[in-house]
């Protein structure tokens, strides 16, 4: 379960058609909406400018820690979806593909009409998406530049709207289409008028509603759904007039809506780096990566490990302390990958062995070392030491590094105390776990479930310290 909000953006109020559907289909989700009414309409603008505006809105939402982004705007989807997907690691959902799929499901004669803004029509995004699924489909697209201004000036129910819609759709009527995609999230507000002009034999496709079905599926797929939320968050922001937004939104959503104004100059111009959406755990030890991923999963941050970057040269662990090695690994990989990197350097310190194996824990057995060989050496070194004098400590030092800032790592240390037993017990965990006995729990670390281990272990201890500080460190 993930309690972070889902972010929705649109050029204006039109994207609320998607939000309304989200409220219906996903009532437990926290929702933040931003409409860029001050710079509306997006339709006639060059794609590069739409992309730049879209990024500003996205940055605003990233700073609010969204777990998924919905581009509730066809023009912005056509201009920016690929770019956003390439650079963000939260799932990004656009409106064009879901709308295209629905149109293909609906059409019987294979001729689909699309009405959209100039930008969307020019991009040919619907025709491309529809034909990529069915190359025989015939798609006729037409720009309707007057529809968005009618909706945004709260005229959707007026005689003006009726005239604009009737005139705009005349050429569409003669084509023999049986399905019409409302390829702009503003258009569903004009739905009765559009249906009236097109007649009962043409099925209207509301891309927004289809989009929410896709959102719902992705929430399940990425295990991001919020299943228990008695007081869901509903936040509405506009770069234009809050009262105008409130009037249209309240009328349309059938309830009083409160909106906040965000001035354009307050929209971040750079990609927000306050909290990353992906962290690379710089470890080749799968056991460690599994334990660390638990915390980031909870924070909604995607985790990659060195296994995802097989070409990367290894950083040598030449330090004399856990901290030195953790920093070497975190900094080395962060500079190479240009991503935030978390490294763990950890090990076992046995009092009777003067703190050995310590930083040599992974390679204690020397050449050809592995867990079994390391454990065998440990037991042989301790063969003369009585059971009640085998005090030992697991230590984990975590270093979090950002590219370009090697001197500013966030470093935390966790520890757990126990005893080394002569007979291994338990199959969980990794490394020295079957020999590390915790008297207070009456079992070894390898007899604990992953959850239990995380609650008592050196790494769990360090991760909790990291979690408490990492937000401030990133923003600082």
Ligand X SMILES: O=P(O)(O)OP(=O)(O)OP(=O)(O)OC[C@H]1O[C@@H](n2cnc3c(O)ncnc32)[C@H](O)[C@@H]1O
Q: Two tokens at 396?
A: 């984990």
Cβ-based nearer residue to Mg ion, 226 or 285: 285
Contacts of ligand X in 274-303 (CB under 6 A): 283-285, 288
Shortest Å, Cβ 54 to ligand X: 38
For residue 265, the Cα-to-chain-centroid distance in whole angstroms is: 25
Q: Which of 206, 331, 344, 345 is catalytic?
A: 345
Contacts of ligand X in 312-371 (CB under 6 A): 317, 344-348, 361-362
Check if 73 is active-site.
yes
Cβ-based nearer residue to Mg ion, 104 or 362: 362
Cβ-based nearer residue to ligand X, 165 or 392: 392
Cβ-based nearer residue to ligand X, 125 or 438: 438
Does 357 sit behind a cis peptide bond, omega within 30 degrees of 0 on the bond before it? yes
Shortest Å, Cβ 207 to ligand X: 46
Shortest Å, Cβ 69 to Mg ion: 36
| Number of residues engaging ligand X in binding (CB under 6 A) | 22
Shortest Å, Cβ 426 to ligand X: 11
Task: Show the binding pattern over residues 396-435: x = contacts ligand X (CB under 6 A), - = does not.
Answer: ---------------------------------xxxxx--
Query: Which residue's Cβ lies closest to Mg ion?
Result: 362
Asked if 460 interacts with ligand X (CB under 6 A), we say: no
Cβ-based nearer residue to ligand X, 11 or 285: 285
Shortest Å, Cβ 346 to Mg ion: 9
349 binds, among Mg ion, ligand X, none (CB under 5 to 8 A by kind): none
Residue 74 marked ligand-binding = yes
Residue 433 marked ligand-binding = yes
211: CB partners within 8 A, 6+ apart: 18, 21, 70, 72, 93, 94, 95, 98, 99
Residue 367 marked ligand-binding = no
**Contact positions vs ligand X (CB under 6 A):** 283-285, 288, 317, 344-348, 361-362, 374, 394, 429-433, 445, 457, 459
User: Where is the binding site for Mg(2+), in residues?
Assistant: 345
User: Where is the binding site for substrate, in residues?
Assistant: 10-11, 42-43, 74-75, 185-186, 283-288, 346, 430-433, 453, 458-459
* Residues identified as active-site: 73, 184, 345
């Amino acid at each position: 379960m993930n309690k972070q909000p889902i972010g929705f953006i649109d050029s204006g109020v039109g994207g609320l058609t998607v939000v309304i559907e989200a409220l219906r289909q996903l009532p437990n989700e926290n929702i933040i909406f931003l409409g860029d009414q001050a710079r509306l309409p997006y339709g006639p603008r060059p794609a590069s400018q739409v992309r730049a505006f879209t990024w500003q809105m996205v940055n605003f939402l990233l700073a609010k820690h969204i777990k998924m982004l919905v581009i509730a705007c066809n023009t912005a989807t056509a201009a920016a979806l690929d770019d956003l997907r390439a650079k963000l690691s939260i799932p990004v959902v656009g409106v064009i593909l879901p709308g295209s799929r629905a149109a293909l499901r609906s059409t019987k004669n294979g001729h689909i009409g699309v009405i959209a803004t100039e930008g969307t029509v020019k991009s040919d995004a619907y025709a491309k998406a529809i034909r990529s699924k069915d190359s025989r489909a015939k798609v006729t697209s037409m720009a309707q530049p007057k529809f968005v201004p009618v909706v945004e000036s709260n005229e959707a129910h007026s005689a003006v709207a009726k005239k604009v819609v009737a005139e705009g759709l005349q050429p569409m009527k003669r084509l023999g289409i049986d399905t019409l995609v409302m390829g702009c999230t503003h258009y569903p507000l004009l739905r009765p008028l559009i249906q009236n002009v097109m007649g009962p034999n043409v099925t209207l496709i509301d891309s927004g509603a289809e989009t929410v079905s896709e959102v719902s599926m992705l929430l399940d797929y990425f295990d991001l759904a919020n299943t228990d939320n008695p007081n869901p968050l509903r936040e509405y922001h506009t770069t234009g007039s809050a009262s105008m937004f409130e009037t249209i939104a309240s009328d349309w959503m059938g309830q009083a809506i409160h909106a906040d104004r965000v001035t354009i100059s307050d929209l971040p111009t750079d990609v927000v780096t306050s909290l990353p959406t992906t962290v690379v755990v710089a470890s080749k030890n799968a056991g460690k990566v599994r334990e660390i991923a638990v915390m980031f999963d909870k924070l909604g941050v995607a985790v990659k490990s060195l296994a995802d970057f097989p070409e990367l040269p290894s950083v040598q662990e030449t330090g004399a302390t856990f901290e030195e090695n953790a920093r070497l690994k975190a900094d080395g990989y962060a500079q190479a990958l240009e991503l935030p990197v978390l490294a763990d350097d950890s090990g076992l310190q046995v009092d009777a062995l003067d703190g050995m194996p310590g930083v040599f824990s992974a390679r204690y057995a020397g050449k050809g070392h592995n867990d079994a060989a390391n454990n065998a050496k440990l037991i042989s070194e301790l063969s003369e030491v009585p059971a009640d004098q085998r005090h030992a400590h697991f230590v984990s030092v975590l270093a979090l590094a950002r590219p370009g800032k090697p001197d500013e790592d966030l470093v935390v240390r966790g520890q757990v105390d126990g005893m080394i037993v002569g007979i291994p017990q338990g199959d969980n965990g990794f490394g020295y776990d079957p020999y590390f006995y915790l008297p207070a729990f009456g079992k070894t670390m390898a007899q604990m479930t992953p959850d239990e281990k995380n609650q008592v272990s050196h790494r769990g201890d360090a991760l909790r310290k990291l979690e408490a500080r990492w937000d401030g460190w990133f923003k600082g």
